[in-house]
Structure 1
Amino acid sequence: MSVNLASTVIKPLHREGPKFIAIFAIVTIALFFVSEVLGWIGVGLTVWCYYFFRDPARVTPAREGLMVSPADGIVSQVAPAQAPPELELGDAPLMRVSVFMSVFDCHVNRAAVGGTVVRAVYRPGRFFNAALDKASDDNERNGIVVHLEDGRRVGIVQIAGLVARRILCDVREGQRLATGERFGMIRFGSRLDVYLPDGVSPLVCEGQKMVAGETVIADLLASEPPRAGEIR
């Protein structure tokens, strides 16, 4: 794949992007009539809006069993937790990998693993900071459960953040997803939780930078213990 300067600056947009960019651009023009300084601030915010809605192609590892990050961002937590009851994954704690997306990350969400969507449930809620642990229980969220060919299930939960007000999920129950396939987005700061099947160890550590659709977070076919990491 050839890389040129234009491709590093100009990115494809999610379908939600153009209308918001247009709004930012119109406000920016109005600001120039008020103050040149405010106008240039508006230009900066319009550029930020463009990059917020970017939807670049990703290279997903194709080996069987690999699970990838569903979101760009930072791993905020790796710990056992009970899955939301609406996912019907049982009462026993499952290993959860949480990825926090700041307002500077790409917010297009991708399937952590391939399979059939057997649950797709939206639940309204509050808008605490998505980095907080209580966000998993109290915030607005949308969860899907992916049924794997070997019978195991994986839960993926989109969680609205402090300034997020809209969760988009493009899949329905019965739909087939491929690993790394786009399935939705969250506008303006949020978090993704992945509930791993029982016995599957995470291969990422808290603080790691994730790339949606590319960074491997677990291997369904491996038996190695969870990985440790250190800042260097």
Structure 2
Amino acid sequence: MSIVDSVTKAMVPIHREGWPFIAIALVATVVIGYFISPLFWIGLLLTGWVCYFFRDPQRVTPVGDGLVISPADGIVSHVGLARPPVELELGSEPLMRVSIFMNVFNCHVNRAPFGGKVLRVAYRAGKFLNAELDKASEDNERNGLVIEAGDTRIGVVQIAGLVARRIVCFVREGENLSTGERFGLIRFGSRLDVYFPAGTQAKVALGQTMIAGETVLADLTEPQGAAQTLTRVS
């Protein structure tokens, strides 16, 4: 294998949503650097960070009936019962919820936690509080999906954060998603909540690092138990 082939293989793809931002950063770097040369190198570093932020690596998704996979890279900030957003129409009773906080260095491409039909896509405007706070689930701008397969419904909510100002969703109601398939992203720094069917026992721990499309959050085929609510304190 040649050096060029080795470098090409090692390169991580960049999501198409990132190219306009990369172009803007690069042009700004060249223009500002032309007049103030020391700022060129700072701009070049920032351009590199933008490329890194919008990376879209390949993932190997586990295959198995009933597996619910992490939709985001990041850290588990909440595990336990919580009422789902009313716009998802998943009922008023508390359901098992796993929250995943993404900082500005995490990959922000979101992947379907469960395969099935997109029953609902619901956007709701809101605030831009720190996404790591538990109240961000209720107060912040968000976009929710309900994925249905047979009698099972999984809710996944994209939540904007303190820095994030743009939620992007690629799918519409009625479309089908495969587990681990890309469905959206959030810019820059944010959170995803996953709501499970009643009685689901989560297989992740508070503070655990998640890998989108790979880490198993729950196995719906396993016997269910009592839920314990845990929230990460910053």
Counting matched residue pairs gives: 225
- Quote the residue 2:121 is aligned against: 120
User: For residues 132-158 of structure 1, what are the alpha-carbon distances to aligned partners after superposition, in whole Å with 9 as ceiling and x for unaligned?
Assistant: 111100111000001122x02110000
Q: Distance in 2 between matches of 1:186 and 1:175?
A: 20
User: For residues 30-69 of structure 1, what are the alpha-carbon distances to aligned partners after superposition, in whole Å with 9 as ceiling and x for unaligned?
Assistant: 2312433321111111001001111111100011111110
- Quote the residue 2:216 is aligned against: 216
- Quote the residue 1:230 is aligned against: none
- Quote the residue 1:65 is aligned against: 66
Residue 38 of structure 2 is aligned to residue 50 of structure 1: no
- Quote the residue 2:201 is aligned against: 201
- Quote the residue 2:232 is aligned against: none
The amino acid that maps onto 1:134 is K
- Quote the residue 1:93 is aligned against: 94
Q: Which secondary structure does the structure 2 equivalent of 1:117 belong to?
A: strand
Q: Distance in 1 between matches of 2:6 and 2:60?
A: 17
- Quote the residue 1:190 is aligned against: 190
| Aligned-pair CA distance for 1:6 | 4.4
| Aligned-pair CA distance for 1:166 | 0.9
- Quote the residue 2:111 is aligned against: 110
Q: Identity over the aligned pairs, expressed in percent?
A: 59
The amino acid that maps onto 1:60 is T
Please tell me whether the aligned partners of residues 199 and 224 of structure 2 are also in contact (alpha carbons under 8 angstroms).
no
4+ residue stretches of structure 1 with deviation over 4 A? Answer: 3-6, 224-227
| Aligned-pair CA distance for 1:121 | 0.5
Q: Distance in 1 between matches of 2:153 and 2:224?
A: 20
Please tell me whether the aligned partners of residues 118 and 147 of structure 2 are also in contact (alpha carbons under 8 angstroms).
yes
Residue 161 of structure 2 is aligned to residue 165 of structure 1: no
Q: Distance in 2 between matches of 1:190 and 1:162?
A: 8
Where in structure 2 are there 5+ consecutive unaligned residues?
A: 229-234
The amino acid that maps onto 2:220 is L
Q: Which secondary structure does the structure 1 equivalent of 2:71 belong to?
A: coil
| Aligned-pair CA distance for 1:115 | 1.0
Q: Distance in 1 between matches of 2:118 and 2:105?
A: 29
The amino acid that maps onto 2:194 is V
User: For residues 59-80 of structure 1, what are the alpha-carbon distances to aligned partners after superposition, in whole Å with 9 as ceiling and x for unaligned?
Assistant: 0001111111000111111121
The amino acid that maps onto 1:214 is E
- Quote the residue 1:156 is aligned against: 156
The residue correspondences of 1:72-87 to structure 2 (distance < 5 A) are 72-87=73-88
